[in-house]
């Protein structure tokens, strides 16, 4: 089940980042879904609407998975998200909680990537 959840989390994010938000929600989001993004109400409908607006504003978004970690009912995806090709954009972490193979809870955290950093290890 852990591998299935990992694949579902990646598929959800891949679909959502390629403007297939309705498909992502219909395939992977379960009943009672809630999220913790502070910029939207905690409902699936509110977050979905925000994702759809972002897709309209950024039709060429680039999403690249860097690592995936899973334990129990949780999956963590660390990724590089560029709103437009060539942008530095952000390092993003999504934390998913699954029930019966569906996403029922989501946390997301993002950190802008600076043009210059004193840390030579980079963000990824």
In a domain, residue 118? The reply is: no
Rounded to an integer, what distance in angstroms lies between the CA atom of residue 116 and that of residue 113? 8
Please provide the average confidence, as pLDDT, over all residues in the chain.
96
Total number of domains constituting the chain: 1
- 121 assigned to some structural domain: no
- Strands (E) across the chain are located at 29-35, 62-71, 74-82, 90-99, 102-112
Position 64 in a domain:
yes
pLDDT digit string, tens, across residues 36-75 = 999 999 999 999 999 999 999 999 999 999 999 999 999 9
Residue 117 is assigned to a structural domain of this protein: no
- Measure the CA–CA gap between 45 and 27, rounded to whole angstroms: 15
* pLDDT per residue as tens digits for the range 15-36: 999 999 999 999 999 999 999 9
Q: Is position 52 within any domain? A: yes
């Amino acid at each position: 089940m852990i591998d299935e959840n990992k694949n579902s989390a990646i598929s959800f994010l891949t679909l959502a980042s390629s403007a297939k938000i309705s498909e992502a929600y219909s395939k992977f989001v379960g009943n009672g879904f809630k999220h913790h993004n502070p910029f939207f109400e905690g409902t699936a409908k509110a977050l979905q609407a925000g994702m759809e607006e972002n897709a309209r504003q950024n039709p060429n978004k680039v999403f690249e998975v860097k690592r995936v970690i899973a334990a129990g009912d949780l999956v963590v995806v660390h990724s590089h998200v560029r709103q437009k090709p060539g942008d530095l954009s952000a390092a993003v972490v999504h934390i998913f909680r699954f029930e019966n193979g569906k996403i029922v809870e989501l946390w997301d955290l993002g950190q802008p990537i600076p043009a210059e950093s004193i840390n030579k290890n980079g963000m990824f």
